[in-house]
């Protein structure tokens, strides 16, 4: 017997970053949108906790306790007073270290899969608490849809969202999230970093489903830092807007880039142009909002 959970990637339609806090984290106003690019995590009873992974870049996924899926299983087992005797298999489609919360997604999926496998029926609020300990983006991976994340991103308020179409361009290699935040600190040193806020215009555009309106208000405060560490991303962004994307931005801490398009036809055209441009390694077409982590029948 095994349990499989499907879990979405995310893009940040607004990532407003405040000054570094005493604990090293940054207060955020982080408007998450879950998109239809999914990992699947399958939990199967085993003698001990083991992790395997398949998919593009599976060789870059840690299979030890550095994997959030393994940590999720350990935390849930410890809470229940049982051994984490489970094999976790990750079928990976979300870019690794790409700024789309792929590792966080696997953590949330493993938590839900183990909860079902072990018949624990852990209350939703407790699952969310474990997610928040695992990482700032993990609660959103569990919840999905569209939400405003405050605090370090883990305090979620659902927001309304119409349907939006996207193209994602996968870069060679990943970017370290802590390194991108450190670069943000370096670039903003000596300046007054404002309180992070999601504008009413952005939230209204998101709710309306009007891609043109959303394109006019999208922004990522980590983009300058990601571009500073990976200047070639500017060419990818230009290739996508040149091909008809309404807006282009770095997804989260990057290096995946996200292109908002008006419809699926334009998505196919922009994806083909990006692939032909030689400025990225692969593309994915997706739409959002997508549901959060879900046990498959
Ligand atoms: O929460 P998570 O483990 O995903 O965060 C990874 C790293 O990203 C943190 O160690 C920190 O360096 C940075 N971070 C931050 N502020 C946030 C979220 C993450 O500085 N709100």
pLDDT tens-digit profile, the chain (297 residues): 999 999 999 999 999 999 999 999 999 999 999 999 999 999 999 999 999 999 989 999 999 999 999 999 999 999 999 999 999 999 999 999 999 999 999 999 999 999 999 999 999 999 999 999 999 999 999 999 999 999 999 999 999 999 999 999 999 999 999 999 999 999 999 999 999 999 999 999 999 999 999 999 999 999 999 999 999 999 999 999 999 999 999 999 999 999 999 999 999 999 999 999 999 999 999 999 999 999 999
Domain around 279 = 164-288
Q: What pLDDT, on the 0 to 100 scale, is given for residue 126?
A: 98
The Å distance, Cα 191 to ligand 1 centre, comes to: 21
d(CA 203, CA 240): 24
Q: What pLDDT, on the 0 to 100 scale, is given for residue 262?
A: 98
Q: What pLDDT, on the 0 to 100 scale, is given for residue 101?
A: 97
Q: What pLDDT, on the 0 to 100 scale, is given for residue 167?
A: 98
The Å distance, Cα 294 to ligand 1 centre, comes to: 25
The Å distance, Cα 155 to ligand 1 centre, comes to: 14
CB 254 within 8 A of CB 102: no
Choosing from 111, 141, 159, the residue where a domain stops is 159
Q: How far is CA 100 from CA 45, 123, 174, 255, in A?
A: 29, 27, 11, 9
- Per-residue exposure over 99-134, b if at least 16 CB sit within 10 Å of its own CB, e if not: bbbbbbbbbbbbbbbbbbbbebebeeeebbbbbbeb
Q: What pLDDT, on the 0 to 100 scale, is given for residue 137?
A: 97
- What CATH number has the domain bearing residue 229? 3.30.70.890
Q: What pLDDT, on the 0 to 100 scale, is given for residue 33?
A: 98
Active site residues: 10, 137
Q: What pLDDT, on the 0 to 100 scale, is given for residue 91?
A: 98
Do 233 and 145 fall into the same domain? Answer: no
Nearest to 246 by CA among 221, 268, 267, 275: 267
Q: What pLDDT, on the 0 to 100 scale, is given for residue 136?
A: 97
Domain count across the chain: 2
Do 155 and 182 fall into the same domain? Answer: no
Choosing from 159, 178, 205, the residue where a domain stops is 159
Do 201 and 154 fall into the same domain? Answer: no
Do 45 and 137 fall into the same domain? Answer: yes
Do 17 and 141 fall into the same domain? Answer: yes
Q: Measured in Å, how far apart are the chain's first and last C-alpha atoms?
A: 12
3-state class (DSSP) for residue 110: helix
Which residue among 181, 196, 221 is best mutated to probe the pocket of ligand 1, counting the most ligand atoms within 8 A of its Cβ?
A: 181
Ligand 1 neighbours by CB, cut-off 6 Å: 24-26, 28, 135-137, 152-153, 177-178, 181
Which atom of ligand 1 is least distant from the CA of 253? 8
- What CATH number has the domain bearing residue 47? 3.30.230.10
CB 74 within 8 A of CB 49: yes
Do 192 and 104 fall into the same domain? Answer: no
Do 49 and 192 fall into the same domain? Answer: no
CB 288 within 8 A of CB 166: yes
Q: What is the pTM of this model?
A: 0.97
∠ CA 27-138-107, nearest 5°, is 150
């Amino acid at each position: 017997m095994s349990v499989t959970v499907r879990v979405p990637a995310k893009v940040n339609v607004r990532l407003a970053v405040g000054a570094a806090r005493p604990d090293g984290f940054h207060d955020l106003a982080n408007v998450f949108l879950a998109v239809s690019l999914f990992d699947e995590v399958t939990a199967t009873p085993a003698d001990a906790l083991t992790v395997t992974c398949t998919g593009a870049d599976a060789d870059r996924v840690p299979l030890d306790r550095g994997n959030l899926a393994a940590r999720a299983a350990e935390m849930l087992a410890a809470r229940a007073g049982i051994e984490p005797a489970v094999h976790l298999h990750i079928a990976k489609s979300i870019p690794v270290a790409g700024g789309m919360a792929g590792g966080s997604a696997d953590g949330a999926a493993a938590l839900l899969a183990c909860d079902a496998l072990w018949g624990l029926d852990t209350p939703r609020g407790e699952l969310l608490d474990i997610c928040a300990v695992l990482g700032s983006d993990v609660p959103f991976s569990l919840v999905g849809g569209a939400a405003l994340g405050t605090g370090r991103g883990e305090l979620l308020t659902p927001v309304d969202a119409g349907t939006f179409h996207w193209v994602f361009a996968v870069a060679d290699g990943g970017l370290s999230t802590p390194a991108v935040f450190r670069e943000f600190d370096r670039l903003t040193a000596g300046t007054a970093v404002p309180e992070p806020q999601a504008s009413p215009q952005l939230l209204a555009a998101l709710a309306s489903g009007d891609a043109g309106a959303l394109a006019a208000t999208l922004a990522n405060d980590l983009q300058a830092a990601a571009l500073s560490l990976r200047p070639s991303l500017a060419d990818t962004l230009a290739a996508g807007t040149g091909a008809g994307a309404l807006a282009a931005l770095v997804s989260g801490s990057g290096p995946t880039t996200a292109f908002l398009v008006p419809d699926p036809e334009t998505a196919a055209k922009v994806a083909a142009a990006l692939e032909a441009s030689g400025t990225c390694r692969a593309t994915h077409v997706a739409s959002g909002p997508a549901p959060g982590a879900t046990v498959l029948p």
